[in-house]
Amino acid sequence: MRYLFALVVTSLILFSCAKPEHPEVVAVKSVINKAYIEGIHNNGSIDDIKAGFHPGFEMLSNTNDELTRFSIGEWVERIETNRANNPDQKRDRTDVKYIDVDITGGVASVKFELLRNGETIFTDYMYLYKFGDDWKIIAKVYHRH
């Protein structure tokens, strides 16, 4: 009986300490989930991708100590071409594990891992600005595992 009581008390303490996420954190994650995780990595809607990324977005990549830039327009074009050339392409689902979401006013910095089959494939750092009521992804840097 003491063990049951201890379990109930511990559960109540843990439950009462859990805080709901701030609405802005929820909004930022929602944009990343819909436009990037589902849109780009899980073959979602091109319209959802375009809605979540600012037209001035750039992905920065360090390849052999050479910094390259990649716009969202170029990325969407490659996705559309790949989907047209491989309409039946099957790909394992990509999942996300958020590490940190830091928001100051209308700017957000987000660190997260992308996983396939339980294995981390990328660690991404995304940056967002809030335009009016909407968060938009404006930049990305990453590490490929």
Q: What is the pLDDT along the chain (145 residues), one digit of tens a residue?
A: 555 444 444 454 555 556 678 999 999 999 999 999 999 999 999 999 999 999 999 999 999 999 999 999 999 999 999 999 998 888 899 999 999 999 999 999 999 999 999 999 999 999 999 999 999 999 999 999 9
- Which residue segments constitute the domains of the chain, with CATH numbers given? 22-144 (3.10.450.50)
CA distance 143 to 145: 6
Contact 74, 81 (CB under 8 A): no
Sign (positive/negative) of CA torsion 77, 40, 28, 50?
positive
The whole-model pTM stands at 0.84
Among 76, 32, 80, which Cα is nearest to 55's? Answer: 76
Tell me, what's the pLDDT at 77? 97
- The CA-CA-CA angle for residues 90, 94, 100, to 5°, reads 165
